[in-house]
Amino acid sequence: MEGVNMNIDELNQIFQPLNFKARLETLYKFYKEEQILYTSSFGTKSIFLLHLLHQIKPSQKIHFINTTYHFEETLEYKKQVAREFDMQVIDVQPNKLENALTREESWWTDHPKMCCTINKLAPLEPIVARHDIWISGLMSYQTNFRSHLRVFEKQGDILKFHPLLDIDEGEFLYHLDYYKLPRHPLEAEGYGSIGCVHCTAKGEGRSGRWKDSKKDECGLHPNYFNRKQKKENE
């Protein structure tokens, strides 16, 4: 079977009834490894999907967007997990001059969307363009936006694949405890979700991300690449 010759509704009909592990296993029957992109923030929820990939496709490359604003604990955690699972992690870096500008002018304060665009989205564009499927660890219970997603969603020229979408928090925690998976060190200090230093505070769930603002996603997931495609077609 060739997933690339199927439309998104057909893919969802096949993958929706499967559990999260079967979805990931089946993905590699439909698509070649080099067609598949996986990015990880090595945050508090990342270990679940990283562990599944370690079990099912340990050779899958992991792309880490190094915004230069990560907590030191995140960088150490990334090294720990990569070493424990023997994973190949590829650092994705923003443009040095543009990154320096966001630092000099503290763009995360007055221009958080542009800061994310420069340091997270733009560096990933050429990598996304080389792949057909993008594995994402989003779960429905995390945010309102995520609660409306399907297992497969079209985003620009790439398909987003959400194998964990309908898992509940209890099952998620059971998996972590059962396999004794390493947890992000800042989780024990009250950080429910972890991104860049300047835009992350303590709080349950994602309440500490972009606190006191209407922003709750960096832009990788909602529709950045859709907007880009629309602009190119105008």
When computed from its CA atoms, the radius of gyration of the chain, rounded to whole angstroms, is 17
Q: Which residues pair with 63 in a beta bridge?
A: 39, 90
Return the bridge partners of 135, or none. Answer: 38, 161
Active-site residue (options: 116, 196, 199, 218): 218
Residue with tokens 């928090």: 169
CB atoms within 10 A of CB 105: 12
218 is catalytic: yes
Rounded distance between C-alpha atoms, residue 83 and residue 88, angstroms:
9
Q: Which residue from 159, 138, 174 is spatially nearest to 5, judged by alpha carbons?
A: 159
Dist. CA 217–CA 234, nearest whole Å = 26
Say how many C-beta atoms besides its own lie within 10 A of residue 222's C-beta: 15
* Distance separating the N- and C-terminal Cα atoms of the chain: 35
Which backbone phi and psi does 57 adopt, to 5 degrees? -145, 75
Q: Which residue has the tokens 């024990």?
A: 188
Cα 89 to chain centroid, rounded: 14
Catalytically active residues, by annotation: 218
